Amino acid sequence: MHRAPPSGPRIIVGVNDTPGARWALAWALGESRLRHLPVHLVHAYQETTRLEHQPWFTTIDAAARLAAADMLARVLREVADGQLQGVELSASVRPGRPGVALTELTRSTDLLIVGRNRRRVPILSAGVTAYCQKHAKATVITVATPPPPDLVALSGERGGLWRRLKGPAGSPSGEQ
């Protein structure tokens, strides 16, 4: 799946099969409708290491590229749910590291959208986002995955669940 990205300002969004990337894609599609900018979807896949020039490596690369294109199309279908009116789309799958693949495409007039997943150890998920923020020529927007609905329902407000678990000041469990 490869169609040349448009030459003017555009929205570039990194897509993989994670909740953060899905939220980033949804945000990018909405932003495209608001700003009337085309969206270019990008997925980077792991390329094989070539020890020697064996013909079966080419087959593995082709299979990885095809699987990446299939995943990109599937995620777009699931996120957009047929609601792509007014959105100009292009897409590419690229071998290599995601941060490098995304930043190589950026220009100063672009918006680069990346998703951030909720993880217990935030530093582990910062790699692609941090790389893009440091190296992209474009404005980088990080879309955070919202908390699961059950946590929001339990808290009643932002941070409420933590306050309930922590209890009143000086009391770790809410007992006085």
Q: Are residues 138 and 160 in the same domain?
A: no
Q: Are residues 89 and 151 in the same domain?
A: no
- Distance from the first to the final alpha carbon of the chain: 62
Q: Name the more confident of 120 and 41.
A: 41
The whole domain housing 46 covers: 11-145
Tokens encoding 27: 């945000």
| Among the listed residues 99, 89, 97, 115, the one whose alpha carbon sits nearest the alpha carbon of residue 5 | 89
Establish if 5 belongs to a structural domain. Answer: no
User: What pLDDT does residue 121 have?
Assistant: 45
Establish if 3 belongs to a structural domain. Answer: no
| Among the listed residues 9, 28, 44, the one whose alpha carbon sits nearest the alpha carbon of residue 84 | 28
Most confident of 19-23, 115-119, 152-156, 163-167: 19-23
Cα–Cα–Cα angle for 55, 56, 62, nearest 5°? 100
Q: Are residues 137 and 154 in the same domain?
A: no
Q: Are residues 166 and 176 in the same domain?
A: yes
25-35 per-position pLDDT tens digit? 999 999 999 99
144-174 per-position pLDDT tens digit? 888 777 655 555 555 544 444 445 554 454 4
User: What pLDDT does residue 58 have?
Assistant: 56
pTM for the full predicted model = 0.72
Q: Are residues 69 and 108 in the same domain?
A: yes
Q: Are residues 130 and 170 in the same domain?
A: no
pLDDT band for position 8 (50/70/90)?
confident
Task: Write phi, then psi, for 132 (nearest 5 degrees).
Answer: -65, -45
| DSSP-derived secondary structure letter, 169 | T
User: What pLDDT does residue 161 have?
Assistant: 45
44-95 per-position pLDDT tens digit? 987 766 566 665 555 567 888 899 999 999 999 999 988 888 899 999 999 8
Rg (CA), the chain: 20
Q: Are residues 152 and 121 in the same domain?
A: no
Q: Are residues 169 and 133 in the same domain?
A: no
> Coil, strand or helix: which one is 58?
helix
Establish if 58 belongs to a structural domain. Answer: yes
Q: Are residues 90 and 172 in the same domain?
A: no
**Domain CATH number, residue 40:** 3.40.50.620
89-110 per-position pLDDT tens digit? 999 999 888 999 999 999 999 9
Cα–Cα–Cα angle for 98, 46, 108, nearest 5°? 20
DSSP string, 9-43: S-EEEE--SSHHHHHHHHHHHHHHHHHT--EEEEE
How many distinct structural domains can be found in the chain?
2
